[in-house]
A and B are shown apart, each in its own frame.
Chain A
Amino acid sequence: MRRDLDKTIWLYTMLIMGAGLIALYSATYQNPRVPHKIFFDQLIGAGLGLSLMFYLGRISYRKFYDVAYVFYGINIFLLCLVLWGGREALGAQRWLQIGAISFQPSELTKLSLILMLGRYFSNRRPAVTFTFLSRTQKIIRDLIFPLILTGVTMSLVFKQPDLGTAILLFGIFMIMLFATDFEYKYFFMFFGLLICCVPFVWHLLHPYQKDRLLVFLNPNIDPLGVGYTIIQSKIAMGSGQLWGKGWLAGTQSQLNFLPERHTDFIFSVIGEEWGFIGTLFIVYCFFMLINCALDIANQVNDPFGKLVTVGIVGILALQAVINIGMVMGLFPVVGITLPFVSYGRSSFLIFTIMMGFLLNLSKKRTVF
Chain B
Amino acid sequence: MRLKIIRISVIILFLLITGDLLYVQVIRGNYYYNLSKNNRVRIVPLGSWRGLIFDRNGVVLADNRLGYNVLITPQEVKDLNEVFAFLEDVLGINEKKLTTTYQNKKTAPFAPIVLKENISREQALMIEENRYRFPSLFVQENFERVYPFNDIGAHVLGYVGKVNRAKLEKLKEYGYSPQSTVGYTGVEEYYDSFLRGVEGGIQIEVNSRGQQVRILSFKDPVQGQNITLTLDSKIQTAMRDLLGDSRGVIIAMDMDNGEILGMVSSPSYDPNLFTTGDNQKAAALMSKNNSPLFNRAIKGAFPPGSVFKVAMALAALDFQKIKQQTSFICTGTYQVGDKAFRCTHAHGNQNLIEAIAHSCNIYFYHLGQMLGVDAMNRYAQELGLGNLTLIDLPYEQEGNVPGRFSKKRGAQRWYMGDILNFAIGQGDLLTTPLQLLRMMAIVGREGDDVQPHLIKNIGDELVTKYSFFRHVAIDPTAYQLVNKGLRAAVNTFSGTANAADIHGLFVAGKTGTAQTSGNQDTHAWFVGYAIGEQRKIAFCVFLEHGGSSQNATIVARSLLMRLQEQKYL
The interface of chain A, by Cβ under 8 A from chain B, is 175, 178-179, 224, 232, 234-242, 251-252, 255-257, 271-272, 275-276, 279-280, 283, 286-287, 290-291, 294, 297-298, 310, 313-314, 317, 321, 324-325, 328, 330
Chief secondary structure at chain A's binding surface:
helix
Q: How far is the CA of A280 from the CA of B25 in the complex (A)?
A: 11
Q: How far is the CA of A255 from the CA of B210 in the complex (A)?
A: 10
The answer to whether B33 touches A224 (Cβ under 8 A) is no
Stretch at the interface among B34-42, B112-120, B144-152, B522-530: B34-42
Contacts of B339 in A (CB 8 A): none
The answer, among B3, B18, B24, for a CB contact under 8 Å with A237, is B24
Q: How far is the CA of A314 from the CA of B39 in the complex (A)?
A: 38
Contacts of A280 in B (CB 8 A): 18, 21
Give 10 A-B pairs besides A251-B36, A251-B40, A294-B3 with Cβ atoms closer than 8 angstroms. Answer: A178-B5, A238-B31, A241-B33, A251-B37, A276-B21, A279-B25, A283-B14, A287-B14, A321-B14, A324-B21
Q: How far is the CA of A116 from the CA of B22 in the complex (A)?
A: 39
Q: How far is the CA of A325 from the CA of B108 in the complex (A)?
A: 28
Q: B164 near A: Cβ within 8 Å?
A: no
Q: How far is the CA of A251 from the CA of B214 in the complex (A)?
A: 12
The answer to whether B29 touches A239 (Cβ under 8 A) is yes
Query: What are 27 A-B residue pairs whose CB atoms fall within 8 Å in the complex?
Result: A178-B5, A234-B24, A235-B39, A236-B36, A241-B25, A241-B30, A241-B32, A252-B40, A255-B208, A255-B213, A256-B209, A257-B208, A271-B21, A272-B36, A279-B21, A283-B18, A287-B10, A287-B14, A291-B10, A294-B3, A294-B7, A317-B10, A321-B13, A321-B17, A324-B21, A325-B20, A328-B24
Interface 1/0 per residue, B97-122 and A, CB below 8 Å: 00000000000110000000000000
Given contacts A255-B206, A255-B207, contact A324 B29 (CB under 8 A): no
Please name the residue on chain B nearest to A238 by beta carbon: B32
The answer to whether B14 touches A310 (Cβ under 8 A) is no
The answer, among B11, B14, B25, B205, for a CB contact under 8 Å with A238, is B25
The answer to whether A257 touches B207 (Cβ under 8 A) is yes
Contacts of B209 in A (CB 8 A): 256
Q: How far is the CA of A255 from the CA of B39 in the complex (A)?
A: 10
The answer, among B3, B26, B30, B206, for a CB contact under 8 Å with A276, is B26
Contacts of B28 in A (CB 8 A): 238
Q: How far is the CA of A146 from the CA of B219 in the complex (A)?
A: 70
The answer to whether A224 touches B109 (Cβ under 8 A) is yes
Contacts of B65 in A (CB 8 A): none
Contacts of B503 in A (CB 8 A): none
Chief secondary structure at chain B's binding surface:
helix
Q: B96 near A: Cβ within 8 Å?
A: no
Please name the residue on chain B nearest to A256 by beta carbon: B208
Q: How far is the CA of A237 from the CA of B21 in the complex (A)?
A: 8
Q: How far is the CA of A239 from the CA of B37 in the complex (A)?
A: 9
The answer, among B6, B26, B32, B206, for a CB contact under 8 Å with A235, is B32
Given contacts A251-B39, A271-B25, contact A310 B32 (CB under 8 A): no
Q: B2 near A: Cβ within 8 Å?
A: yes
Interface 1/0 per residue, B504-516 and A, CB below 8 Å: 0000000000000
The answer to whether A330 touches B20 (Cβ under 8 A) is yes
Q: Which 10 A-B pairs have the closest CB atoms?
A: A238-B32, A241-B29, A239-B36, A256-B208, A276-B25, A255-B207, A239-B33, A257-B208, A239-B32, A235-B35
- Considering the complex, which residues of chain B in the window 259-317 have a beta carbon less than 8 Å from any beta carbon of chain A? none
The answer to whether A310 touches B35 (Cβ under 8 A) is no
Q: How far is the CA of A235 from the CA of B32 in the complex (A)?
A: 5
How far, in Å, is B407 (CB) from chain A's closest CB?
Answer: 51
The answer to whether B25 touches A252 (Cβ under 8 A) is no
Contacts of B22 in A (CB 8 A): 276
Interface 1/0 per residue, B126-144 and A, CB below 8 Å: 0000000000000000000
The answer to whether B25 touches A257 (Cβ under 8 A) is no
The answer to whether A256 touches B25 (Cβ under 8 A) is no
Q: How far is the CA of A280 from the CA of B22 in the complex (A)?
A: 9
Please name the residue on chain B nearest to A306 by beta carbon: B3
Q: How far is the CA of A237 from the CA of B33 in the complex (A)?
A: 9
The answer to whether B25 touches A237 (Cβ under 8 A) is yes
Q: How far is the CA of A5 from the CA of B10 in the complex (A)?
A: 19
Please name the residue on chain A nearest to B38 by beta carbon: A235
- Considering the complex, which residues of chain B in the window 455-470 have a beta carbon less than 8 Å from any beta carbon of chain A? none
The interface of chain B, by Cβ under 8 A from chain A, is 2-3, 5-7, 10-11, 13-14, 17-18, 20-22, 24-26, 28-33, 35-37, 39-40, 108-109, 205-209, 213
Contacts of B207 in A (CB 8 A): 255-257
How far, in Å, is B425 (CB) from chain A's closest CB?
Answer: 64
Contacts of A238 in B (CB 8 A): 24-25, 28-29, 31-33, 35-36
The answer to whether B32 touches A234 (Cβ under 8 A) is yes
The answer to whether A328 touches B35 (Cβ under 8 A) is no
Please name the residue on chain A nearest to B206 by beta carbon: A255
Q: How far is the CA of A279 from the CA of B25 in the complex (A)?
A: 9
Please name the residue on chain A nearest to B31 by beta carbon: A238
Please name the residue on chain B nearest to A286 by beta carbon: B14
The answer to whether A313 touches B36 (Cβ under 8 A) is no
Q: How far is the CA of A276 from the CA of B22 in the complex (A)?
A: 7
Q: How far is the CA of A234 from the CA of B33 in the complex (A)?
A: 10
Contacts of A283 in B (CB 8 A): 14, 17-18, 21
The answer, among A234, A252, A257, A325, for a CB contact under 8 Å with B17, is A325
Q: How far is the CA of A21 from the CA of B281 in the complex (A)?
A: 64
Q: How far is the CA of A136 from the CA of B2 in the complex (A)?
A: 23
How far, in Å, is B120 (CB) from chain A's closest CB?
Answer: 35
The answer, among A256, A298, A324, for a CB contact under 8 Å with B3, is A298
Contacts of A232 in B (CB 8 A): 39, 208
Contacts of A255 in B (CB 8 A): 39-40, 205-208, 213
Contacts of B21 in A (CB 8 A): 237, 271, 276, 279-280, 283, 324, 328
Contacts of A279 in B (CB 8 A): 21, 25
Contacts of A224 in B (CB 8 A): 108-109
Q: How far is the CA of A291 from the CA of B29 in the complex (A)?
A: 30
Contacts of B18 in A (CB 8 A): 280, 283
Contacts of A237 in B (CB 8 A): 21, 24-25, 32
Q: How far is the CA of A131 from the CA of B40 in the complex (A)?
A: 70
Q: How far is the CA of A328 from the CA of B36 in the complex (A)?
A: 15
Q: How far is the CA of A321 from the CA of B17 in the complex (A)?
A: 7
Please name the residue on chain A nearest to B20 by beta carbon: A328
How far, in Å, is A55 (CB) from chain B's closest CB?
Answer: 28
Q: How far is the CA of A179 from the CA of B10 in the complex (A)?
A: 14
The answer to whether A239 touches B13 (Cβ under 8 A) is no
Q: How far is the CA of A317 from the CA of B6 in the complex (A)?
A: 10
How far, in Å, is B545 (CB) from chain A's closest CB?
Answer: 58
The answer, among A179, A242, A291, A314, for a CB contact under 8 Å with B25, is A242
The answer to whether A310 touches B17 (Cβ under 8 A) is no
The answer, among A175, A179, A257, A275, for a CB contact under 8 Å with B39, is A257
Q: How far is the CA of A328 from the CA of B33 in the complex (A)?
A: 15
Q: How far is the CA of A64 from the CA of B523 in the complex (A)?
A: 109
The answer to whether A235 touches B36 (Cβ under 8 A) is yes
Q: How far is the CA of A330 from the CA of B18 in the complex (A)?
A: 12
Q: How far is the CA of A232 from the CA of B6 in the complex (A)?
A: 33
Q: How far is the CA of A321 from the CA of B19 in the complex (A)?
A: 13
The answer to whether A290 touches B40 (Cβ under 8 A) is no
The answer, among B3, B11, B26, B37, for a CB contact under 8 Å with A179, is B3
The answer to whether B29 touches A242 (Cβ under 8 A) is yes
Q: How far is the CA of A255 from the CA of B42 in the complex (A)?
A: 13
How far, in Å, is A187 (CB) from chain B's closest CB?
Answer: 10
The answer, among B6, B17, B25, B109, for a CB contact under 8 Å with A275, is B25
Contacts of A287 in B (CB 8 A): 10-11, 14
The answer to whether A290 touches B208 (Cβ under 8 A) is no
